[in-house]
Amino acid sequence: METQETLHDLELPHIDFNWVEKQSKPSFLKKALKLLDLDGNYYPELSNAIHEKLKKLDPKYKSIISKYLL
């Protein structure tokens, strides 16, 4: 029986492009962005992939992020 990942369990080593592709929960993706930022944002391509996935999953996120990019 596979255990379900919880938001509390999410750690930096779990976050990679494959994880982002499979992820369907915006809350997990947002936490992943926070973890990457706290680590110094050494993986900008990974952060960009998370932003793009969030735009697809959460219409509110897309409108919020576009305000900051203007």
The string of pLDDT tens digits covering residues 11-27 is 999 999 999 999 999 99
The mean pLDDT value for 29-55 works out to 94
CA distance 60 to 39: 26
Give the predicted TM-score (pTM) of the model: 0.80
The mean pLDDT value for 25-44 works out to 94
CA distances from 64 to 18, 59, 68, 70 (A): 25, 9, 7, 11
- Domain parsing of the chain, residue ranges: 12-69
pLDDT value of residue 70: 43
The mean pLDDT value for 31-49 works out to 94
Please determine, for residue 44, whether its predicted confidence score (pLDDT) is greater than 60: yes
